Amino acid sequence: MRDFLKNFLTSFICFSSILFCSFQAQASNGLDADLLLNMSIEEILATKITSVAKKAQNIKEISSAVYVITQDDIRRSGALTIPDILRMAPGVHVARIDGNKWSVSIRGFGDIFANDLLVMIDGRSIYNQLFAGVYWDVQDLVTEDIERVEVIRGPGASVWGANAVNGVINIITKAAKDTQGGLISAGYGSETNGFGSVRYGGKIGNDHYYRIYAKAYQQDEFKLQSGGDAFDDKHHEQTGFKLDLATDSDDPITIQGDFYSGVNDVLVRTDSLSPLQFGEKAGTHEDVRGGNIHAHWNHHFSSTSKTSTQIYYDYNYRSHSAIAQVMHNLDVDFAHNFELNDWNEVIWGLHYRFSADDLDGSFGVTVEPGQRETHLYSMFLQDEMSFFDDQLKFTAGIKLLHNDYSGFEYQPSARALWRLNDKQSVWASFSRAVRTPGRFEHEGAIKNIRGGFPVPTVAQIHGNNEFRSEVVYAYELGYRAVFDDHLFFDLALFYNEYDHS
């Protein structure tokens, strides 16, 4: 009887949470659910996305393999984590490694340290300079506050720079204006022991809006094949805010921030030169904490000319038994797009990134020197031209950058889209993209103890100061067709050549 009451209560809480979230999502957006579900293919393809060229474009006008996960998709899926949300995008490979670790990649190369993918939240890169990848266990948001997730399969380096080799993911949250009022969401499960979030949005004056939120998440440990505990549970707390100022003016400003802390349990192999202790595993705790402050300013000179400036700082701390990490990043990005005439639009920009870290290694993992500061400078230029009454669009661009590991890099691209008619289009592209070395590839070392009798051996892998950037030459060809209001066909073919991978 006790188990029945527990299961009934759990189901009731989950159902109530889902029902409340569903109602809140509709109320916040001011949209009727039937309107969303009855949108035609043409209306969906008219969705504006910004992650391809740092400007708003319709999906059907983009010469890239693009997919958009909407808030309605997220709400109906019941996904609780960002990696689970990304499972909905075709071509994105998501694998759960254990209770608190994920592998997310595009077009192969899946690994916990996958580093050929640029991931952003509201345009803020969540790149980690130690291995040039993403720690997915600390990336969290109130899922009801996500407006959409833009996924670009293939290189985007001519605009976004290093590491946008196999794809770009930009997670875009809702404007504070669209999240007015309160929201409470909570749930309980057998593996996800508990999750909950509280959010409130309000208005200041005529055109200033804000929201604040707090969220907590508890994941139970998995089971090993032997039946024992995997010692991989986690708990995570996060709070944050978003402030949209002067939303009705030509100079809107957004200021936002997130702050988190948590504990991951990890099962690690103990390093020992004793044959009797070789291969033993022990559980340990990994403390994680960090935060970010992000400001974004748009300025409109006219209907055909505007600038976008963003600056953010983020801090990350991780106390893994193999290597403790303290990391600071300061990033400044500027872009200006304007129309030269009716058929020619130009966008150019400048970017600077400062990174500083303090690493404390162990017997098995070391990085020398333990402290380092690095600088990255870049600029890009892209020109989009339209011909024959917009039937043919041609885009050419190049990104030039300099980093402290591999020096000067260049990343050109050329794209073309031909509209066969109102329902069909063909596109093709060529890109050269670069993944710059991470800190560990350049200056790290791993010692691995191998068992043996009577004396074990120690194998070592060292980073290389002459490490060269990984380069991909990507050739893409695509075809889109709208057959009727309910059937859409999208084909993307690609051929990649990798050097120094």
SS3 letters across 51-106: CCCCCCEEHHHCCCEEEEEEHHHHHHHCCCCHHHHHCCCCCEEEEECCCCCEEEEE
CA distances from 33 to 16, 43, 173 (A): 18, 15, 19
pLDDT at 223: 84
Which pLDDT tens digits describe the chain residue by residue (501 residues)? 444 334 433 443 343 333 333 333 333 343 444 444 455 556 666 667 776 767 777 777 888 889 999 999 999 998 999 999 999 999 999 999 888 889 999 987 777 877 888 999 999 999 888 888 899 999 999 999 999 999 999 888 678 877 788 899 999 999 999 999 999 999 988 888 889 999 999 999 989 999 999 999 998 888 888 888 888 899 999 999 999 999 999 999 999 999 999 999 887 765 554 444 445 566 788 999 999 999 999 999 998 999 999 999 999 999 987 889 999 999 999 999 999 998 999 999 999 999 999 999 887 888 889 999 999 999 999 999 999 988 999 999 999 999 988 889 999 999 999 999 988 999 999 999 988 888 888 888 887 766 555 566 667 777 777 777 889 999 999 999 988 777 889 999 999 999 876
Sign of the Cα torsion 361, 365, 369, 374 reads: negative
pLDDT at 397: 93
CA distance 137 to 261: 11
**Residue from 454, 357, 407 nearest 129 by CA:** 357
Residues in the chain: 501
CA distances from 34 to 19, 73, 365 (A): 16, 14, 55
Side-chain half-sphere exposure of 353, counting CA atoms within 13 A: 21
pLDDT at 281: 61
Which strands sit side by side in the sheet containing 457-462, from one edge to the other?
365-367, 444-450, 457-462
pLDDT at 164: 86
Residue 91 CB contacts under 8 Å (≥ 6 apart), including other chains: 65, 67, 106, 107, 151, 153, 167, 492
The three-state (H, E, C) secondary structure of 435-490, written as one string: ECCCHHHHHEEEEEEECCCCCCEEEEEECCCCCCCEEEEEEEEEEEEEEECCEEEE
| 37 three-state secondary structure | helix
- Kind plus residue range of the DSSP H or E element containing 23: helix 2-29
Residue 295 CB contacts under 8 Å (≥ 6 apart), including other chains: 253, 254, 255, 256, 310, 311, 312
Which pair of structure tokens corresponds to residue 432?
Answer: 């050269």
Which pair of structure tokens corresponds to residue 185?
Answer: 């969401």
**Residue from 389, 306, 284 nearest 56 by CA:** 306
CA distance 410 to 415: 17
Residues 454, 457, 458: CA angle, nearest 5 degrees: 155
pLDDT at 15: 37
pLDDT at 366: 86
Sign of the Cα torsion 363, 364, 369, 370 reads: negative
249-261 CB burial, b ≥16 within 10 A, e <16:
eeebbbebbbebb
Are 209 and 180 in contact by the 8 Å Cβ rule? The answer is yes
| 177 three-state secondary structure | helix
Lookup result for tokens 């909407």: 70
pLDDT at 62: 86
pLDDT at 8: 35
CA distance 74 to 96: 19
